[in-house]
């Protein structure tokens, strides 16, 4: 019991627990809200970006790198806010905003993974970081799928109810991305071009490899630190 308390406290006070909680809440709330979904989507995007900035402050090794991430986060916030004024029906703005978001989240992903794969002791915070990185993979691919669809709407076969005005913009892409990442593959949304099919296969493969590598790494670190503690004792 004594070992479980530090993990629980790390979850409450850790650098990634708030970010992870925000992402999970976003996915639970967006499908429930029937009206003004676009507003809910953007509000949660702002909150998530601000939490990401706090995470970057925690894992950035240099002040210069943190300033760079702060600037990129500011640009991301501006683009998110501009979505309230400029319709996402404008292809050029939509592609630019989603491309920048994907680039931003890729940087965040690799920085989180640097922390998760480090030799530090396995804590609740590190576990939250690993889960956050896994969920970010789904977000990144969702952005990429939406870009593909914006350029060529024929690249995906999507049921009409996913594309009605009351649906959060690109929510179908998040649904398809996470069902692909977890290899559920319900089949209601299907890629129709070699490019989108290749990306879907790549995502499914990377998702499974990620889980195997991360679990093995965390277990190895936990065993290593426990043996070190036993030797010191």
* For the chain, the helix, strand and coil percentages under 3-state DSSP, each to the nearest 5: 75, 0, 20
* Nearest partner of 167 among 48, 22, 30, judged by Cα: 30
193, 154 Cβ separation under 8 angstroms: yes
30, 8 Cβ separation under 8 angstroms: no
- Token pair listed for 113: 């993974």
pLDDT category of residue 2 using cuts at 50, 70 and 90: very low
* Nearest partner of 80 among 52, 122, 116, judged by Cα: 52
pLDDT category of residue 215 using cuts at 50, 70 and 90: confident
Cα radius of gyration rounded to whole Å, the chain? 19
* Nearest partner of 180 among 138, 133, 134, judged by Cα: 138
Q: How many angstroms separate the CA atoms of 86 and 94, rounded?
A: 9
pLDDT for 9 beyond 60? no
pLDDT for 140 beyond 90? yes
Q: How many angstroms separate the CA atoms of 61 and 69, rounded?
A: 12
Return all residues near 218 (Cβ < 8 A) that are at least 6 apart: 116, 122, 126, 127, 130
Q: How many angstroms separate the CA atoms of 82 and 149, rounded?
A: 21
Q: How many angstroms separate the CA atoms of 225 and 213, rounded?
A: 18
Mean pLDDT of 130-136: 90
Residue-wise pLDDT tens digits, 81-129: 676 566 556 678 888 888 998 998 898 899 888 888 888 888 878 888 8
Amino acid 233: pLDDT: 56
């Amino acid at each position: 019991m004594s070992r479980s308390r530090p993990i629980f406290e790390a979850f409450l006070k850790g650098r990634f627990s708030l970010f992870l909680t925000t992402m999970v809440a976003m996915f639970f709330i967006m499908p429930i809200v029937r009206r003004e979904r676009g507003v809910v989507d953007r509000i949660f995007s702002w909150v998530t970006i601000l939490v990401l900035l706090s995470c970057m402050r925690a894992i950035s090794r240099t002040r210069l790198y943190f300033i760079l991430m702060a600037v990129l986060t500011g640009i991301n916030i501006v683009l998110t806010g501009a979505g309230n004024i400029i319709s996402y029906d404008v292809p050029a703005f939509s592609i630019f905003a989603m491309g920048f978001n994907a680039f931003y989240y890729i940087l965040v992903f690799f920085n989180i993974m640097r922390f998760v794969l480090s030799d530090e002791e396995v804590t609740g915070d590190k576990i939250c970081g690993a889960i956050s990185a896994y969920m970010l993979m789904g977000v990144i691919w969702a952005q990429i799928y939406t870009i593909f669809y914006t350029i060529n709407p024929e690249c995906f076969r999507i049921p009409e109810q996913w594309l009605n005005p009351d649906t959060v913009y690109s929510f179908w892409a998040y649904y398809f991305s996470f069902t692909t990442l977890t290899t559920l593959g319900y089949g209601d949304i299907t890629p129709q071009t070699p490019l989108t099919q290749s990306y879907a296969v790549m995502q499914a493969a990377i998702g499974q490899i990620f889980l195997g590598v991360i679990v093995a790494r965390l277990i190895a670190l936990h065993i290593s630190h426990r043996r070190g503690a036993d030797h010191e004792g």
